[in-house]
Amino acid sequence: MKKMTRALSLLLAVSLLVGSFAFGALALPASDFDAYWETIRDDNTMISLTPGADETQMNFRWHSSLKAPYPLIHVSRRPDMSQSQTYLGKIEHSENADQRVNKVTVNYLEPDTVYYYSYTLEEGFSTSAPFKTPPLGRVKVMFVSDIQCSGADGDEEGRIYNARLWNRTMDTALANNPDIDFILAAGDNTHKGATEEWIASLSPPALRSLPMATVVGNHDMKSTVYNRYVNNPNTFHGTTPNHVGNGYWFTAGDVVFVMLNSNKINMVDHYLLIKEALITNPNAKWRVAVMHHDIYGTRGHADIHRHTDAYLLQCGLGTLFDEYGFDIVLTGHDHVYGRSYYMKNNKNVDNPGYEDGKVTDPKGTIYFTASAAAGKSRTMEAMADYPWLAYSVFGTETGIDIYSTLEFTNYECKIYSYTADDNVQVDSFEISKTSHDYPTPAPVWLYVIRMFARIDFKILFGAMAA
């Protein structure tokens, strides 16, 4: 791995010296992936970056041998790492007996600035790599879900297949959107949560510089190693902490991102997490939630007449997003891309301009469901006949992997979605605001009453019998 890593680092350094920083320079062409894969296929020590609490922080996490020095990260504005600052980290147990896990939070960073970092390995410090902090007042993110790399139980063919296609998605997205600030991944980051699968999901070399904010999906719940590969900010444990990973929040630009573990059924914990995030950021101009389960989704998992979890989450979390006036909810789970109508009180809300893909000061919340990101998108014969579903993209013979970008300014959000293999635009939607007024949420006891009042027991019992 050392030779390949140093070669990639040299290439990045040259590209950064001759031009301004852009994540497009970090993409690995498909023709180079197989050779690169052979150098990292058994290496789970690749570092991962997660957005910090705001633009002034960056979080890091990596595995190392037990013999490695105490976790340190050097950060500099210069590629040669001169005039660097040193940040001390923490050590935690690994899922492997001969390793430990290291995590470091780097703070006091300047927004919209390129930095370089190196970190401790057993043989010394790593080769430097770049990262960039988001600017103030504007942020552009890449949205995907269900990376879901296989590899547990010796499925090596499936592992490299998914890793190759995940790198393809990254390559396409960054080549056409070099100004992406970070990735939002709506769960099922692996298929069974195995170490081999995390290697595949973290394999794109761009992830050594591009932060990725993830949530826990149902497939991530099949092991307990999720928290050993991410370093999430502002983690909220609540009254019933989850053994895999809990919700958290962070800000970028004028957006507060609330990242929910929708496998948790304790709605009071979700209420309190969102309350903490929004009380801490009362002036945020956009409220975005990210979670795995598509409560207003595109395919079978969202069928409230067959799945009790889908219906109960729709009642519980749908009520919660109404209470706090969320602008956008990003989900996955069904492996088919789609966009809902605006929803409030479990009903479609008519907003002028929706059919043209442009709304101003809309009422309600809009829900997006991502396809899979690495080859596991599903097929359909026709769009699901759900009353909330406005638009969907699918293949009838093979699934269509899609990625989206969301670009936020103070008063506008532009959402574009593209095919992962050839970057054909398949959807666009623009939201404009003339004000940033949000509802005053009900106290928790009243929220619980409203949540239960939304439940139609005929639908619930029908789903239980299905």
1-5, 82-86, 269-273, 330-334, range with the lowest pLDDT:
1-5
- Are the C-beta atoms of 220 and 190 separated by less than 8 Å? yes
Q: Residue 255 phi/psi, 5° resolution?
A: -115, 135
36-50, 140-154, 176-190, 301-315, range with the lowest pLDDT:
301-315
pLDDT confidence tier of residue 5, bands split at 50, 70 and 90: very low
14-23, 193-202, 321-330, 396-405, range with the lowest pLDDT:
14-23
Res. 170: pLDDT tops 60: yes
pLDDT for 441-463, tens place per residue? 999 999 999 999 999 999 889 98
pLDDT for 214-255, tens place per residue? 999 999 999 999 999 999 999 999 888 888 989 999 999 999
Res. 270: pLDDT tops 60: yes
Q: Which two tokens stand for residue 453?
A: 């009042």
* pLDDT value of residue 4: 43
Kindly report the length of the chain: 466
Return the amino acid letter for 87.
Answer: Y
Q: Which two tokens stand for residue 406?
A: 């969301």
Res. 2: pLDDT tops 90: no
DSSP states of 224-258: S-GGGS---SS-B--SS--SS--BEEEEETTEEEE
Q: What is the average per-residue pLDDT within 166-179?
A: 95
* pLDDT value of residue 23: 61
Pairing relationship of beta strands 328-331 and 286-290 according to DSSP bridges: parallel
* pLDDT value of residue 153: 84
pLDDT for 345-374, tens place per residue? 999 999 999 999 999 999 999 999 999 999
CATH superfamily of 2-132: Purple acid phosphatase-like, N-terminal (2.60.40.380)
pLDDT confidence tier of residue 16, bands split at 50, 70 and 90: very low
Q: What is the average per-residue pLDDT within 268-294?
A: 96
- Residue ranges covered by each domain of the chain: 2-132, 139-444
Q: What is the average per-residue pLDDT within 21-28?
A: 65
Residue 370 to residue 306: CA distance in whole angstroms? 21
> In whole angstroms, what separates CA 329 from the centre of its chain?
12
Res. 59: pLDDT tops 80: yes
* pLDDT value of residue 24: 59
* pLDDT value of residue 25: 55
pLDDT for 179-197, tens place per residue? 999 999 999 999 999 999 9
Burial of residue 214 (number of CB atoms within 10 Å: 0-12, 13-18, 19+): buried
pLDDT confidence tier of residue 22, bands split at 50, 70 and 90: low
Dihedral sign (CA 220, 404, 343, 334): negative
pTM of the model: 0.94
pLDDT for 290-329, tens place per residue? 999 999 999 989 888 888 989 999 999 999 999 999 999 9
Res. 1: pLDDT tops 80: no
* Structural fold of domain 139-444: Purple Acid Phosphatase; chain A, domain 2 (3.60.21)
Averaged pLDDT of the chain: 92
Write the DSSP symbol of residue 341: P
* pLDDT value of residue 3: 43
pLDDT confidence tier of residue 21, bands split at 50, 70 and 90: low
